[in-house]
């Protein structure tokens, strides 16, 4: 695995000057993944903040071949690109020794919801690619609407905290588990605050033959109503509260990559974000307890599977 010094020396393939927000979690995630690749990368991005923020014509932040085609089809688009690569290799139009890595990036909306079918299809077909979901917990690009990844209780513009209904009423979808159920060779959850873990996972995923998946929590000051300067801290607290466990499933074996010495209460994470304000009111303790209960149950489930073939 590359050291921080080695990573820093790699070419910057995702240039500055893009229009993603201050404190957005996406740029550090993308930069680190591109630096971890050890080979040329061709990428696609689903419609969303990353696409809109990096390519306003005639500018592009991508110093690699890159395509955006639509919202729900990043996995299908990368399937086509990767297949063309195999066709050209077979016909000798690309030299045998040339190795190209294929990466699809999508937000949680483009991955958990509208793009789930295309993702499932591409995983099942076994294309050689890495799918990266940056999970900021809502459709941020279109103004913070709820997604299947939005945490229980969070206020969004389509699940507002009203007088009667207090934020999102449903528990989030466990996408990583859905991906694992496709029996892919490698899937993991990561966080931008832990660069070493994230970079190692990206390197591993890109080295693996077959479809691989990274689900990465991505703080969004605009949608979380959090302080931009606290984004990386917010990612860390998400992990320390076990809201976002860092784990991987490699060839069917689950491994927890980080176990907090002292699991922090979920309130520590919620209080950094305005979208959970209502959950911290004494009269809504039951909602907070429900969220804590979900997190505890998932963490217990992971602990019980740690080191095992699942």
Partner 1 sequence: MAITMTKGQVGLTGNTAVAYAMKQINPDVCAAYPITPSTQIVEEFSGYVADGAVDTEFITVESEHSAMSACIGASAAGARVMTATSSQGLALMWEMLYIASGMRLPIILTNVNRALSSPINIHCDHSDSMGARDSGWIQLYSETVQEAYDNLFQAVRIAENEKVMLPVMVCLDGFITSHAIENMSLLDDAEVRQFIGEYKALHSLLDTDNPVTYGAMTLPDTYIEFKRQQSDAIARAKDVVSEIGKDFGNRFGREYGLMEKYMLDDADVAIVILSSAAGTTKVAVDELRKKGKKVGILRPRLFRPFPFKEVADALKGVKAVACLDRVDSMSGFGGPLFNEVRSSLYESEKRPKIASRIFGLGGRDYKVKDAVGVFEELLKIAETGKVEVLTKYITM
Ligand X SMILES: Cc1ncc(C[n+]2csc(CCOP(=O)(O)OP(=O)(O)O)c2C)c(N)n1
**Closest CB 30 distance from ligand X, rounded Å:** 12
Burial of 2 (0-12, 13-18, 19+ CB in 10 A): middle
- Rule CB under 8 A: is residue 111 a binding residue for partner 1? no
178 contact choice in ligand X, partner 1, none (CB below 5 to 8 Å, kind-dependent): none
> Is 136 a binder of ligand X (CB under 6 A)?
yes
Residue 46, classed as helix, strand or coil, is: coil
Mark the segment that binds ligand X (CB under 6 A) among 10-18, 44-52, 119-127, 165-173: 44-52
Query: Which residues lie below 8 Å from residue 208, measured CB to CB, with a gap of 6+?
Result: 185, 186
Which residue among 49, 81, 217, 246 contacts partner 1 (CB under 8 A)? 81
Distance CA 104, CA 91 (A): 25
Q: Rounded distance, CA 107 to CA 49, Å?
A: 8
Q: C-beta of 238: minimal distance to partner 1 in Å?
A: 30
Choices 51-59, 164-172, 197-205, 220-228; region in contact with partner 1 by CB under 8 A: 51-59
Number of residues that bind ligand X (CB under 6 A): 18
Q: Which one of the spans 115-123, 162-170, 217-225, 268-276 is the region binding partner 1 (CB under 8 A)?
A: 115-123
Residue 147 or 176: the one with the smaller Cβ distance to ligand X is 147
Contact 107, 133 (CB under 8 A): yes
Site size for partner 1 (CB under 8 A) = 47
Q: Identify the bridge partners of residue 132 per DSSP, sorted by sequence position.
A: 105, 214
Stretch that binds partner 1, among 24-32, 64-72, 147-155, 236-244 (CB under 8 A): 64-72
Least distance from C-beta 55 to ligand X, angstroms?
13
Question: In Å, how far are 19, 202, 236, 258 from 194, measured between CA atoms?
Answer: 24, 12, 8, 10
- Residue 149: in which H helix or E strand, if any? none
Pairing of strands 247-250, 253-256: antiparallel
Contacted by 117, from ligand X, partner 1, none: CB < 5 to 8 Å by type? partner 1
Q: How is residue 114 written in tokens?
A: 């509208």
Site of interaction with ligand X (CB under 6 A) = 46-50, 71-72, 106-110, 136, 139-142, 147
């Amino acid at each position: 695995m590359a050291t921080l010094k080695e990573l820093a020396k790699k070419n910057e393939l995702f240039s500055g000057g893009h229009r993603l927000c201050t404190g957005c979690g996406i740029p550090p995630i993308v930069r680190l993944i591109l630096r971890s690749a050890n080979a040329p990368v061709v990428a696609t991005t689903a419609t969303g903040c990353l696409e809109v923020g990096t390519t306003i014509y005639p500018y592009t932040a991508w110093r690699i071949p890159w395509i955006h085609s639509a919202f729900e089809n990043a996995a299908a688009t990368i399937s086509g690109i990767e297949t063309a690569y195999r066709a050209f290799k077979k016909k000798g139009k690309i030299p045998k020794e040339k190795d190209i890595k294929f990466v699809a990036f999508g937000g949680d909306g483009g991955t958990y919801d509208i793009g789930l079918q295309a993702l499932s299809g591409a995983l099942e077909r076994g294309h050689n690619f890495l799918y990266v979901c940056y999970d900021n917990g809502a459709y941020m690009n279109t103004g913070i609407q709820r997604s299947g990844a939005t945490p229980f209780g969070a206020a969004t513009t389509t699940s507002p905290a009203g007088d009667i209904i207090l934020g999102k009423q449903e528990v989030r979808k466990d996408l990583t588990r859905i991906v694992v159920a496709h029996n892919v060779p490698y899937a993991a959850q990561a966080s931008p605050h832990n660069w070493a873990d994230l970079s190692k996972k990206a390197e591993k995923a890109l080295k693996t033959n077959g479809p691989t998946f990274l689900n990465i929590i991505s703080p969004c000051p605009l949608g979380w109503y959090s302080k931009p300067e606290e984004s990386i801290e917010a990612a860390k607290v998400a992990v320390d509260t076990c809201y976002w466990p860092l784990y991987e499933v490699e060839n069917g074996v689950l491994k927890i990559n980080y176990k907090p010495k002292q699991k922090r209460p979920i309130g520590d994470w919620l209080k950094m974000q305005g979208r959970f304000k209502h959950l911290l009111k004494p009269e809504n303790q039951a909602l907070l307890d429900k969220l804590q209960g979900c997190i505890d149950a998932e963490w217990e489930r992971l602990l019980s599977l740690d080191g095992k073939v699942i």
